[in-house]
Structure 1
Amino acid sequence: MIVCAEMDEQWGYVGAKSRQRWLFYAYDRLRKTVVAHVFGERTMATLGRLMSLLSPFDVVIWMTDGWPLYESRLKGKLHVIRKRYTQRIERHNLNLRQHLARLGRKSLSFSKSVELHDKVIGHYLNIKHYQ
């Protein structure tokens, strides 16, 4: 069981900034760890894939920013919408940008393939959070 989970999405790109790649993930506030993540477009389908990975965890309180798709997907659940309560996951977004050059907005390092982009970020999350 997860008492408080923060959910957020992080922008990245592959090859050119017009080829956006989004990382959706959930962060356990108490354990200070990433619980699940998925890559894809910024759509309800990608959010649905993340929610299906999170269903076994029985999250009590969801904390998100004001993105409208979170509100529609979390209807009927205890859902707090405030930037104030997503500070930890936003800080984690910054840590990812600092540790992985390919996530920097203005960088010479960037991913050239979707497969490699997903594997590098997934491997980093695996080492830092899943082991």
Structure 2
Amino acid sequence: MKVILQKAEVDKMKIFVAKKEHERWLWHAIDHQTGTILAYVLGQRTDQMFLKLKTMLKPFGISEFYTDNWGSYKRHLSDEQRTVSKYKMQKIERKHLTLRTRIKRLQRKTICFSKISPMHDLVIGLYINKYEFHRNII
């Protein structure tokens, strides 16, 4: 069954593994109306990660994306599909703050951090699956 959504907000959030030199990025998209996370990808700040996220969003049939001015969006979304607006991205920016508050590993300065990327990705994935997708993992 194909779900049709009108608009989605897409953004990336910088996170660290072990120390500042080991950057990771959480790319995710939310429904513009409800603020629900539609899909997410963890990885580098590259076009390939955005394309992976875009592929995950295809079943939703999104007609308009609200983004910032990052180059990946310019290269892989047409001007008709993409609207650059920080004002229209308030829900996803709020989602970033909520994630940073609830998952201490996403804090910039904390004693709770992951030493390796797989564990970092696992913790973030478990949280999103349980609290955003309402899936019982265990």
TM-score class normalised by the smaller sequence: over 0.9
Partners of 1:70 and 1:32 in 2: CA distance: 20
When structure 1 is superposed on structure 2, of 92-101 and 26-35 the one drifting more is: 26-35
Q: Which of residues 61, 65, 72 is equivalent to 1:62?
A: 65
Match of 2:124 in 1: 121
**Whole-angstrom CA distance in 2 between matches of 1:28 and 1:99:** 20
- Give the superposition deviation at 1:3: 1.1
Q: Which residue of 1 aligns with 2:88?
A: 85
Q: Secondary structure at the match of 1:42?
A: coil
1:98 pairs with one of 91, 97, 101: 101
Q: Percent identity at matched positions?
A: 36
**Alignment partner, residue 30 of structure 1:** 33
Match of 1:48 among 46, 51, 67: 51
Q: Deviations over 1:83-125 (max 9, x none)?
A: 1111100000000000011101111111111111111111111
> How many equivalent residue pairs?
131
Who is 1:112 aligned against?
Answer: 115
Give unmatched runs, 5+ long, in structure 1: none
CA distance in 1, matches of 2:89, 2:70: 12
SS of 1:70's partner is helix
User: Which TM-score applies when normalising by structure 1?
Assistant: 0.95
Q: CA deviation at 1:15?
A: 1.1
Offset, 1:76: 5.1
TM-score, normalised with respect to structure 2 = 0.91
Q: Which has the higher strand share?
A: 1
Q: Which has the larger displacement, 63-72 or 85-94?
A: 63-72
Which whole-Å CA distance do the structure 1 matches of 2:25 and 2:39 have between them?
A: 14
Alpha-carbon RMSD: 1.1
Unaligned runs of 5+ in 2: none
Q: Provide the rounded CA distance (Å) in 2 between the counterparts of 1:15 and 1:36.
A: 25
